[in-house]
Amino acid sequence: VEVIDMNKSAPAAVESKPDFGYLLAERTSNMGASIIRETLKVASRPGIISLGGGLPAPESFPLEIIGELTSRALKKYKSLVLQYGPTEGFPPLREALVDLLAGRGIDVSADDIIISTGSQGALLEIGKILISKGDKVAVEAPTYMGALAAFNPYEPRYLSIETDDDGVIPESLDRLLSGHRVKFIYLVPTFQNPSGRTVPDSRRREIAEIVIRHQALIIEDDPYSALRYRGKPVPPIKIYAPDNVVYLSTFSKILSPGMRLGFCVAPPLIKKWMVLAKQGIDLHTSSLDQAIASEYITGGYLERHLPTIVDVYRPRLERMLAAIESSFPDGFESSHPEGGMFVWAAGPDGFDAERLYWKAIDRGVAFIPGKYFYTEKGMGNETMRLNFTMSDPETLERGIAILAAVIKDEMN
């Protein structure tokens, strides 16, 4: 055993700090820094109106009942909530989710439901068990970058499915599946991040028919369907193709993103391997947080609080859409979501939304250039993602007015 004499000064050769870059695995470079996060660093300067971020409003959190929920959970489950628990999830939460999922049209038993550390945790498990280097994964164009961040370490190749105002175009999906063997199709069919678009019911049925015919697997990521401000709910694709869909959802937008609670219903074989993958990732999701979420549902708190969240966001979305309508110049189009957290705007062909970004920042408004949500270079240069959850209606209106003025300058 070598004894280190702490009184001795370090050898002269070790003056500079070691550079461990050479230790990184080959695949690590695929992880990259999130361009969005880097872009948003500029946007977090004081005084900037940020339409860029994607956070729920702090005033949507049920702060005043968290103490009550925590003491209910501690009283009811005692040391169980501080102990290691099953990887599949805290049983009372899995039970409580049966009704919540039934309300979305998904009829399952508690055993069919697994809990994840945010839906991000489930995306990571899916990447880990399904993707081998070079495998093809089909995604929407544009798509959610966080999912790509979960899949990228496993080195897939992405194939884009074309979209229009109603989301994924079924014919494009059918063509893609006829020409390629894809590991899975990743979709956000309801109030998509980034586009805000929702795939209508008739298209969902077509998509289900296509994946059943091709014996393909969809990952249906649904963090936003509960945030509906108008219109009628649309059932998940899962109900039309139960054996071909892994359905993911989350408490991040209906309780708290900081608690990191997601849930998932997957075909049996996929579910089995997701649980094994999760064991290696984090053993299980926080027992105390799961118990709190379980009380949130069974005590009727979610049902009472959800309308409050919807009431915070509805006027924000309406004010943003009205401001876009009245101030953006001809040639600009925007999505008209009935829920979620994002509006998507597109300028005429050739318009450069990234150039606009820097000019808008100078005038005090931030957004995300849409091209970052595409897996193929050269796409979406004219597009932008606008978030409406993080500012009050008056600020949103001011932000859109400034953005419209910068756009007009840019177009002249």
* Interacting residues toward ligand PLP by CB under 6 A: 54, 118-120, 144, 146, 188, 193, 221, 223, 250, 252, 257, 262
Cα of 86 vs its chain's centroid, Å: 25
Nearer to ligand PLP, 188 or 404 (CB): 188
Percent helix, strand and coil across the chain, each rounded to 5? 50, 15, 35
Minimum gap (Å) between residue 142 Cβ and ligand PLP? 11
* Minimum gap (Å) between residue 327 Cβ and ligand PLP: 27
Residue 14 CB, nearest approach to ligand PLP (Å): 41
What is the residue type of 73? A
- Residues 238, 217 contacting (CB under 8 angstroms): no
CB 110 → ligand PLP: shortest distance, Å?
A: 20
CA distances from 363 to 353, 387, 395 (A): 15, 18, 14
CB nearer to ligand PLP: pick between 60 and 193: 193
State the minimum distance, in angstroms, from the CB of residue 10 to ligand PLP.
43
The nearest distance, CB 16 to ligand PLP, in angstroms, is: 39
Instruction: Quote the CA–CA distance of 5 and 89 in Å, as a whole number.
Output: 48
**Contact at 8 Å (CB) between 300 and 99?**
no
Separation of alpha carbons 326 and 323, rounded Å = 5
CB 393 to ligand PLP: min, Å: 22
Sign of CA dihedral 120, 124, 130, 136: positive
Peptide bond preceding 236 in cis form (omega within 30 of 0): no
Q: Which is nearer to ligand PLP, 117 or 407 (CB)?
A: 117
Complex with ligand PLP: residue 123 or 169, whichever CB lies closer: 123
Distances (CA, A) of 158 to 51, 229, 368: 28, 33, 22
Q: What is the dihedral of CA 280, 281, 287, 291, to 10 degrees?
A: -120
Which amino acid, 268?
P
Identify the bridge partners of residue 219 per DSSP, sorted by sequence position.
186, 246
Q: How far is the CB of 208 from ligand PLP (least distance, A)?
A: 20
Phi-psi region of 31 (alpha: psi -120 to 50; beta: other; left: phi over 0): alpha
**Cα(99)–Cα(213) distance, rounded to whole angstroms?**
30
CB of 148 to ligand PLP, least distance (A): 11
In the complex with ligand PLP, the residue whose CB is nearer, 146 or 364, is 146
Where does 19-103 have alpha helices with state H? 35-43, 63-77, 91-103
Give the residue with the Cβ less far from ligand PLP, 118 or 242. Answer: 118
- Which of 163/252 has CB closer to ligand PLP? 252
Per DSSP (E only), the strands in 188-307 are 218-221, 245-250, 262-265
- Per DSSP, what are the bridge partners of residue 386? 343
Q: Which is nearer to ligand PLP, 91 or 257 (CB)?
A: 257
Smaller CB separation from ligand PLP, 328 or 372: 372
Residue nearest to ligand PLP (CB): 118
Nearer residue to ligand PLP within complex by CB, 188 or 306: 188
Q: How far is the CB of 247 from ligand PLP (least distance, A)?
A: 12
Smaller CB separation from ligand PLP, 48 or 123: 123
Cα 197 from Cα 345, distance rounded (Å) = 11
Spatial distance between the Cα atoms of 375 and 379, rounded to a whole number of angstroms: 8
Residue 395: CB minimum distance to ligand PLP, A: 21
